[in-house]
Amino acid sequence: MSETDCVTPPLCVDLDGTLSRTDLTAESLLALGKHHPLRLLGLTRELARGRAACKLALARLSCCDPATLPYNEAVLDLVRTARAEGRRTVLVSASPRPWVDAVASYLGLFDEVLATDNPAINLSGQAKAARLVALYGERAFDYAGNARADLPVWRHARKTIVVTPEHGVLARARSQGEVAAVYDDRPARSWTWLRATRIHQWAKNLLVFVPLLAAHAWDRQTAVTQACLAFLIFGLAASSVYLLNDLLDLDADRRHPRKKLRPFAAGLLPLPQGVLGTAALFVAALVLAAFLPLTFRAALAAYLGITLAYTFYLKQLVLVDILILAGLYTVRLVAGAEAIEVPLSFWLLALSFFLFMSLALVKRYTELLVQRDSGSLTVHGRGYQVRDFPLLQTMGMVSGQLSVLVLALYINSESGRVLYRHIEYLWFLCVLLLFWVNRVWLLAHRGEMHDDPLVFALKDRVSRAIAVVASLAVWLAR
């Protein structure tokens, strides 16, 4: 029986941005850029032949894992309802046929698949509309889409179904006629961007103020201003790297029980906007850095270089990733000292490295526990195995105790006595740090630790109380 003979028109559903919350072409370009950047150059030749030819070439270089894609549950329910009513369901997409076939096969919800399979025809916009009209007739099909390219299709559809629309698309769709349904469950865009840039992680950059406090330079207005600027610069730089990291780690994040909820992994933000946001934050950090000393800019360059190396490769190396994470905290201290042009104490560097080494090990230890509880034997995108977690625990606890030892040696040194008139009050810091480090590891062992120790410290009332008492001890010692 032909489609025109059906009493109920078929339900046609777009893939990118509609059935799936992400864009498969953008994801594949990012993955190819991460693993095989030189192959991107080969796509430029295909792009000269047209978008369809370029997409098909990209499909030959990368694959699509339909099991990890962030699907829109409301659209899946819509398709299931249509099938229950006996309607024909069609997955129609401008993405290359191998990817679309893989998604349709995985879901098992579609009777037919239409996709880009001709190098001369990109199945989008007018081309998609013409194909559907040719198959089912004018206003003889319902269509669910989300983008400007779907407007020509809706002009020929019986019912317009708008899903998580791009900016301005819903208004234009309504101007063309009645919109049968709108599915948009996205949270506020501003809040989603704050999550993506991980503003809460800017708390790590408070470390740039430590040299200011350690040198007792808080009464120098210029130094305070420079330290505040350094904080802002590191925040912008860190957020740019967080965005880039999330864009390049989509597959690994989606396999993680908690990281799959990150905005890009969950498909809550468009990937092209993420690329633009990364570039904008990076440029802003570089422009502002021009107002600080050259040595600060060198420290910032080191931070960015190490972070990018970590993002692209070093995070996969066992233990190297731990050393890098600890080192990045220490770089912030160096940058803070260079911003206000004061020497940085050996004691402070040693204390920070051992302490942050312990926290980096907490992070990996907690991730391994989560993977163990989910039944996985390895951490995707890392070099660790679940059975490594007891060894990481031992190394982390030892590193934490070493940080306490360094603090105790500093309190008993001539360097400390020069800066503090009542240095004996700093012994409270040793007790507090010893308690806090051991408590962190105890909670991690019980599985009660967030996989980011910083988030834990910010939310934990005991940690905040310890910070207040520690500040009081430093004030009494000065």
Q: What angle do CA 240, 245, 250 make, to 5 degrees?
A: 135
Determine which helix (DSSP H) or strand (DSSP E) holds 466, and give its type and residue range: helix 461-477
Q: What local confidence, expressed as pLDDT, does residue 6 receive? A: 45
The parts of the chain modelled with pLDDT lower than 50 are 1-6
Q: What local confidence, expressed as pLDDT, does residue 5 receive? A: 43
Predicted confidence (pLDDT) per residue in 279-308, tens digit? 999 999 999 999 999 999 999 999 999 988
Residue with tokens 């195995």: 385
Q: Is 271 exposed, middle or buried (0-12, 13-18, 19+ CB in 10 A)?
A: buried
Domains and CATH numbers, the chain: 3-183 (3.40.50.1000), 191-344 (1.10.357.140), 365-478 (no CATH)
Q: Do the strands 179-183 and 159-163 form a parallel or antiparallel pair, or are they unpaired?
A: parallel
Using only C-alpha atoms, what is the Rg of the chain?
Answer: 27
pTM of the model: 0.82
Predicted confidence (pLDDT) per residue in 328-348, tens digit? 988 999 999 999 998 888 888
